[in-house]
Structure 1
Amino acid sequence: MNLYIRLLLAILRGFFKPPMALTETLQRTLRVWPNDIDINKHMNNGRYMTIVDLFMLELCLRAKILIPAFKLGWKPMLGGNLVVYKKQLSMFEQYTAEFSICCLDESWTYFQYTFFNRAGEVVVTGYSKGAWVGRKGLVANAVIAEKLKVEPTTAPMPEAIRKWLEAEAHVLGKA
């Protein structure tokens, strides 16, 4: 039930909060609820990724690109994650999460996210990559910028993402 409430809140924020540029950082203070924890009595590792999904949804709604993309027949797709879990969050603990678009390549958009505990310590940090998929496969970021009238980030790709992509190529046997 808690996830449906969070989903509804993300959608409502997406429609009623002020618009955002895709280059802005989305920040939210949240709390760990009983259905977020696992048998070890801390926030489940998968729950962090669910929160990241909700951030992506809210950002796409507030940037006014989600509905136009759907009208073009495009669907968002997650392509991978690089996540580091450093500390735990316990039940009812408050935390802050930040989410932003980091950089782009031809078809993929790379996101960076960090979760902080109340002391400001990094709990979880990582990168995800996502793309829009149309009938013919991945939609190029240049096409997205043109069709959705958005200004893509020109930030350079961090070394950590380049190394991640090299490792991914090895895993996929493309190295």
Structure 2
Amino acid sequence: MHMFFRTLLHVLFLSRRKSGLGHYEIARTDFITLPTDLDINRHMNNGVYFSIMDVARFDMLVRNGVWRIMREKGWYPVVASETITFRKSLQLWQRFTIESKILGFDDKAVYVEQRFVRPGADGRPEIYATGFIRGRFLRKTGGVVPVPELVQAFGAAGGEGLPEWIERWGADVALPATRAEAPSTWATGEPASGSRSRG
């Protein structure tokens, strides 16, 4: 529940008071590690990282104007794939920043990189964890919004182009489309992902 209130705080209040962003500029969103974020080891729970990344992406979408366009058109974003790598733990009451950047898009999805950073010994931002998101936009009336339609609506043409490895990651971890068969058959030694029919 506290993530819901964190999201409301940023989307309704904090994000609207910040400067606007271009689509490929870095959004920096500040947080503090709360007692409700901790696990039994008394550092931030690994699952909480993903939840806080959601909040930071909403902050980015408000500031770059995408949130307003989404609401006008009846669209909403969903995560199709995500991965994270941890380097250092975040402890109780530590302040940290999430740096969010849209990397680009392929023919089906948009890719975002998000870094958890704190000031290092030399004063420069030091990475504690890095996550990558593969997301899509859906219509409230049903169906997926095609990437060309997204690019046109958001005015997000251009960008630096996706790294080859992240396109390969997106394809490698994709599951079958929602209406395709996706049996869990690993007990028989068959692939669980149903790679014959990608979404």
TM-score range, shorter chain: 0.7 to 0.9
Q: C-alpha separation between the residues in 2 aligned to 1:152 and 1:52? A: 24
CA contact (8 A) 1:83 1:127 kept: yes
Give CA deviations for 1:42-85 in whole Å, capped at 9, x if unaligned.
00112111121111111111122223222222111111102111
Aligned to 1:132: 137
Residue 81 in structure 1 maps to residue 82 in structure 2: yes
Cα root mean square deviation, aligned: 2.2
- Alignment length, in residue pairs? 174
Give CA deviations for 1:116-172 in whole Å, capped at 9, x if unaligned.
233243221121011111245221222122234x12343221133133124214734
Aligned to 1:141: 147
1:60 alignment partner, SS class? helix
CA distance 1:40–1:61, shift in 2 (3 Å): same
Q: Which has the higher contact order (CA 8 A, sep 6+)?
A: 1
Residue 156 in structure 1 maps to residue 161 in structure 2: yes
Structure 2 gap segments, 5+ residues each: 175-190
CA contact (8 A) 1:30 1:95 kept: yes
Q: TM-score, normalised by structure 2?
A: 0.77
Q: TM-score, normalised by structure 1?
A: 0.86
Amino acid across the alignment from 1:144: L
Q: C-alpha separation between the residues in 2 aligned to 1:13 and 1:81? A: 26
Q: C-alpha separation between the residues in 2 aligned to 1:82 and 1:31? A: 22
CA contact (8 A) 2:106 2:167 kept: no
